[in-house]
Amino acid sequence: MDLDLAQLRALDAAVTHGTLDAAARALHITPSAVSQRIRALEASLGRVLLVRSKPVAVTESGAAALRVARQLDALAGALALDLAGEEGSRRLIPLGVNADSLATWVLPALAGLDGLDFEFHREDQDYTVSYLRDGTVMAAITADSAPVQGCTVEPLGVMRYVPTAEREFAARWFPHGVTAAALREAPYVDFDRKDDLQHRYLRKHRVDEATPPRNQVPASADFVAAVRLGFGWGMIPMVQQPQAGDDVIVLDEHGIDVPLYWQQWNLRSPALDRVREAILAGAAVLRSGR
């Protein structure tokens, strides 16, 4: 199969920027040229790749083509840097990261990597692999140990989540510690509908998650703030406990352990290798037993 790099780049630009007009501006060509390149690629592959909506969306076949397009672009960029040897040249690395890792250890781990820019796609650790499958990201932190096709996987460690509450809240709702009866009555804080941690802890105590009052706060720092302000109890990672402050307490040290893994494209890229090394080093906090 002969693949045209210009056609693949047109597909990538359309998906990245959302419209054919925006893709044309990014590629410095006309919208008609973008459309023609994508249609030519669809004709050569015999598949419809793009849904012309706003923003545009890829079909299942389009996701596979997009992944190849972005991998080839990464290889071409690495080759250009090797041949030119230009200092100051930069590479954009799109990564899939769960919110709690992004709020705690990932940013410090990646700080100081000169010549690299990052595009973070935040998603629950159970769902970040979807970004790898459709080619949106080059690598992801995920709870899935099964490698996505065309990717390698390495264990990072375990993020332990423990039920945490503001002191006065704990005294009011959990005067005798964590019990099923208390969990049925006490309000709790949820991250979003995809976050299953609070529900898993409730089910562990044979409590239906629909029974207690629920507050939804879909941002990692704000989630911790909501717990600290007494909106409810919530599952906070041990690595995030220092951010919670002294006015909160851990209700139960035997929380829920979530193993995390690093999955990345199975290709040789000096830029991606640097990111991998930084992530593996930064993840030492997950292996410290905290």
- For the segment 27-53, what is each residue's pLDDT rounded down to a tens digit? 999 999 999 999 999 999 999 999 988
Each residue of 218-230: pLDDT tens digit?
A: 888 899 999 999 9
Residue 123 CB partners (closer than 8 Å, separation 6+): 96, 97, 98, 130, 131, 194
If you average pLDDT over residues 275-279, what whole number do you get? 96
Residue 132's pLDDT band, with cuts at 50, 70 and 90, is confident
The percent of residues in the chain predicted with pLDDT above 70, rounded, is 93
Question: Greater confidence, 132 or 232?
Answer: 232
**In the predicted model, what is the mean pLDDT of the chain?**
89
What is the per-residue pLDDT for 82? 61
Question: Greater confidence, 75 or 275?
Answer: 275
If you average pLDDT over residues 101-114, what whole number do you get? 92
User: Which among 20-34, 112-126, 266-280 has the top mean pLDDT?
Assistant: 20-34
Question: Greater confidence, 82 or 276?
Answer: 276
Residue ranges per structural domain of the chain: 5-83, 90-290
What is the per-residue pLDDT for 263? 95
What is the per-residue pLDDT for 81? 61
What is the per-residue pLDDT for 244? 65
Each residue of 169-179: pLDDT tens digit?
A: 999 999 999 99
What is the per-residue pLDDT for 47? 92
How far is it, in rounded angstroms, from Cα 95 to Cα 120? 5
What is the per-residue pLDDT for 178? 95
Please identify, in words, the CATH class of the domain defined by 5-83: mainly alpha
Q: Report whether pLDDT(74) > 90.
A: no
If you average pLDDT over residues 253-268, what whole number do you get? 90
What is the per-residue pLDDT for 133? 81
Q: Report whether pLDDT(290) > 60.
A: no
What's the topology of domain 90-290? D-Maltodextrin-Binding Protein; domain 2 (3.40.190)
What is the per-residue pLDDT for 243? 67
Q: Report whether pLDDT(251) > 60.
A: yes
